[in-house]
Amino acid sequence: MSDPPPIRILLAKLGFDGHDRGLKVIARTLRDAGFEVIYLGLRQTAGSVVIAAEQEDVAVIGISMHNGGHLTLGPMMVRAVADAGLEIPVVIGGIVPAEDVPTLREHGIFAVLGPGTALETVVATIHAAAATHDGMVG
């Protein structure tokens, strides 16, 4: 009996935000936890992320926010996924004020992981998000 394939996650930075150090730490953490990570890097658009997510058949999209654009870019990412006919949960990491989290959740963001989130929590959150994708169990 063979092992199930690894859960595939796409990580990216939307817009002109050039701060990706934390996202690289998360990418390494998720790889070490057995995920297959597709790292798009900096200066992506919602459209480029959706195209890559569909081509790579990912279970979760993770975007990192440090530029204050989370209330615009987060919902834009969720809409782009839905407009493409995909059902892929979106997780946001980075600098997001606590008072903005409920708004993001109302707009369909699966989870928001802020600075200092334990790496074990990040892994568990991605497993939980992947479990909602096409009935996949993470």
Residues 62-71 have pLDDT tens digits of 999 887 889 9
Name the fold adopted by 8-131: Rossmann fold (3.40.50)
Sheet containing strand 111-113, edge to edge, reads 36-44, 8-14, 60-65, 90-94, 111-113
> Does pLDDT of 136 surpass 50?
no
Residue 137 banded pLDDT, cuts 50, 70, 90:
very low
Q: Is 71 exposed, middle or buried (0-12, 13-18, 19+ CB in 10 A)?
A: middle
Judged against a pLDDT cut of 90, whether residue 27 lies above it is answered with yes
Q: Determine if residue 15 is left, alpha or beta; phi over 0 gives left, psi from -120 to 50 gives alpha, anything else beta.
A: left
Residue 134: its pLDDT value, please?
A: 60
The pLDDT assigned to 73 comes to 93
How far, CA to CA in Å, does 56 sit from each of 7, 9, 132? Answer: 11, 9, 18
Q: State the angle between helix axes of 119-131 and 21-32 in degrees (0 to 180), rounded to the nearest 10.
A: 70
